[in-house]
Structure 1
Amino acid sequence: MNTLDPIALLRRLVAIDSINPDLVPGAAGEGEIAAWCAAWLHDWGFDVSMLEERPGRPSVVGVKRGTGAGRSLMLNGHLDTVGVASYQGDPFSGELRDGRVFGRGAFDMKGGVAAILVAAARASARQLSGDVIVTLVADEEFGSLGTEEVLRSVEADAAVIVEPSGLELTLAHRGFAWFELELRGVAAHGSQPERGVDAIAHAALVMRALDELRTRLESAALHPTLGHGTVRVSMISGGEDAATVADTCTLTLERRMLPGQSPEHVEAELRRVLEHLASTVSGFTYTLTCLVARAAFEANPEWPVVQALAGNAARILGATPVVRGEPFWTDAGLVLEAGIPCLVFGVDGGGAHADVEWAEAASVVALTDILEGTITEFCR
Structure 2
Amino acid sequence: MQESWSSHLKTDEYEIEVNSIISLTTRLIQFETTTKENINLAVDYCSEWLRQRGIETTFINNDGYKSLIAEIGEKGPIIIFNGHLDVVPAEADQFFPFVDDGKIYGRGSFDMLGAVSVMMHAFVELSKKTLPARVILSLVPDEETGGEKGTGYLVENGILGDMVICGETTNLDIAVQAKGILQISLEFLGTASHGSRPWLGENAILKAFHAYKEIERLDLFKEKSQFFDRPSINLARIHGGGAINRVPDRCSLILDIRYLPDQNPEDILDQIRGITDAELKIISRGDPVKTNPLNEFVIRLKDTAENVLGSDVRIFGQDGSADTRFYATRGIPAVEFGPRGANHHGKGEYVFINSLLDFKSILIDYVMSYSKKS
Q: TM-score, with normalisation over the residues of structure 2? A: 0.88
What is residue 250 of structure 2 aligned with on the other side?
Answer: 248
Structure 1 residues 27 and 344 mapped into 2: Cα distance closer, same or farther (>3 Å)?
A: closer
Please give the alpha-carbon distance, in whole angstroms, between the structure 2 residues aligned to 1:244 and 1:218. 35
What is residue 108 of structure 2 aligned with on the other side?
Answer: 105
Aligned residues: 355
What is residue 305 of structure 1 aligned with on the other side?
Answer: 297
Deviation at residue 326 of structure 1 after TM alignment: 1.6
Deviation at residue 194 of structure 1 after TM alignment: 4.0
Unmatched segments (≥5 aa) in structure 1: 279-285
**Secondary structure of the structure 1 residue equivalent to 2:107:** coil
Please give the alpha-carbon distance, in whole angstroms, between the structure 1 residues aligned to 2:286 and 2:19. 33
Q: What percent of counterpart residues are identical?
A: 25
Deviation at residue 77 of structure 1 after TM alignment: 0.7
What is residue 281 of structure 1 aligned with on the other side?
Answer: none
The answer (yes or no) to whether the contact 1:262–1:295 under 8 Å persists in 2 is no
Alignment of 1:106-145 (within 5 A): 106-144=109-147, 145=149
Structure 1 residues 170 and 130 mapped into 2: Cα distance closer, same or farther (>3 Å)?
A: same
**Secondary structure of the structure 2 residue equivalent to 1:329:** coil
Corresponding letter in the other structure for 1:5? E
Asked if 1:13 is matched to 2:5, the reply is no
Deviations 1:30-51 (A, max 9, x none): 1121111112233344331111
Q: Judge which range, 149-158 or 195-204, deviates more.
A: 195-204
The answer (yes or no) to whether the contact 1:18–1:79 under 8 Å persists in 2 is no
What is residue 283 of structure 1 aligned with on the other side?
Answer: none
Structure 1 residues 166 and 360 mapped into 2: Cα distance closer, same or farther (>3 Å)?
A: same
Corresponding letter in the other structure for 1:79? L
Deviation at residue 328 of structure 1 after TM alignment: 1.1
Deviation at residue 72 of structure 1 after TM alignment: 0.8
The answer (yes or no) to whether the contact 2:160–2:327 under 8 Å persists in 1 is no
**Secondary structure of the structure 1 residue equivalent to 2:217:** helix
Deviations 1:139-162 (A, max 9, x none): 111121211122123121111111
Structure 1 residues 379 and 201 mapped into 2: Cα distance closer, same or farther (>3 Å)?
A: farther
Please give the alpha-carbon distance, in whole angstroms, between the structure 1 residues aligned to 2:362 and 2:263. 33
Deviation at residue 7 of structure 1 after TM alignment: 4.7
Please give the alpha-carbon distance, in whole angstroms, between the structure 1 residues aligned to 2:185 and 2:104. 40
What is residue 71 of structure 2 aligned with on the other side?
Answer: 63
What is residue 32 of structure 1 aligned with on the other side?
Answer: 41
Unmatched segments (≥5 aa) in structure 2: 1-14
The answer (yes or no) to whether the contact 1:63–1:132 under 8 Å persists in 2 is yes
Structure 1 residues 368 and 250 mapped into 2: Cα distance closer, same or farther (>3 Å)?
A: same
Asked if 1:91 is matched to 2:95, the reply is yes
Asked if 1:78 is matched to 2:111, the reply is no
**Which of 140, 144, 152 does residue 156 from structure 2 map onto?**
152
Please give the alpha-carbon distance, in whole angstroms, between the structure 2 residues aligned to 1:163 and 1:263. 25
Corresponding letter in the other structure for 2:48? A
**Secondary structure of the structure 2 residue equivalent to 1:273:** coil
The answer (yes or no) to whether the contact 2:222–2:231 under 8 Å persists in 1 is no
**Secondary structure of the structure 2 residue equivalent to 1:165:** coil
Q: Judge which range, 96-105 or 35-44, deviates more.
A: 35-44
Alignment of 1:125-274 (within 5 A): 125-144=128-147, 145-153=149-157, 154-213=159-218, 216-217=219-220, 219-220=222-223, 222-274=224-276
Structure 1 residues 33 and 51 mapped into 2: Cα distance closer, same or farther (>3 Å)?
A: same
Please give the alpha-carbon distance, in whole angstroms, between the structure 1 residues aligned to 2:113 and 2:308. 21
Alignment of 1:282-301 (within 5 A): 286-301=278-293
Deviation at residue 218 of structure 1 after TM alignment: 5.0
Corresponding letter in the other structure for 1:246? P
What is residue 368 of structure 1 aligned with on the other side?
Answer: 360
Please give the alpha-carbon distance, in whole angstroms, between the structure 1 residues aligned to 2:26 and 2:67. 17
Deviation at residue 115 of structure 1 after TM alignment: 1.5
Corresponding letter in the other structure for 2:154? V
Structure 1 residues 51 and 234 mapped into 2: Cα distance closer, same or farther (>3 Å)?
A: same
Deviations 1:291-325 (A, max 9, x none): 11112212212222212211110110012212222
Corresponding letter in the other structure for 1:273? I
Please give the alpha-carbon distance, in whole angstroms, between the structure 2 residues aligned to 1:348 and 1:332. 19
Asked if 1:328 is matched to 2:320, the reply is yes
Deviations 1:317-344 (A, max 9, x none): 0122122222111111122113321111
Structure 1 residues 250 and 132 mapped into 2: Cα distance closer, same or farther (>3 Å)?
A: same
Deviations 1:86-125 (A, max 9, x none): x6x55233x2221111222111111111111122222232
Please give the alpha-carbon distance, in whole angstroms, between the structure 2 residues aligned to 1:354 and 1:192. 46
**Secondary structure of the structure 2 residue equivalent to 1:114:** helix
The answer (yes or no) to whether the contact 2:79–2:163 under 8 Å persists in 1 is yes
Aligned-residue CA RMSD in angstroms?
2.2
Deviation at residue 265 of structure 1 after TM alignment: 3.4
What is residue 50 of structure 1 aligned with on the other side?
Answer: 59
Please give the alpha-carbon distance, in whole angstroms, between the structure 2 residues aligned to 1:27 and 1:132. 27
The answer (yes or no) to whether the contact 1:18–1:80 under 8 Å persists in 2 is no
Q: Judge which range, 263-272 or 110-119, deviates more.
A: 263-272
Please give the alpha-carbon distance, in whole angstroms, between the structure 1 residues aligned to 2:238 and 2:195. 21
Structure 1 residues 357 and 219 mapped into 2: Cα distance closer, same or farther (>3 Å)?
A: closer
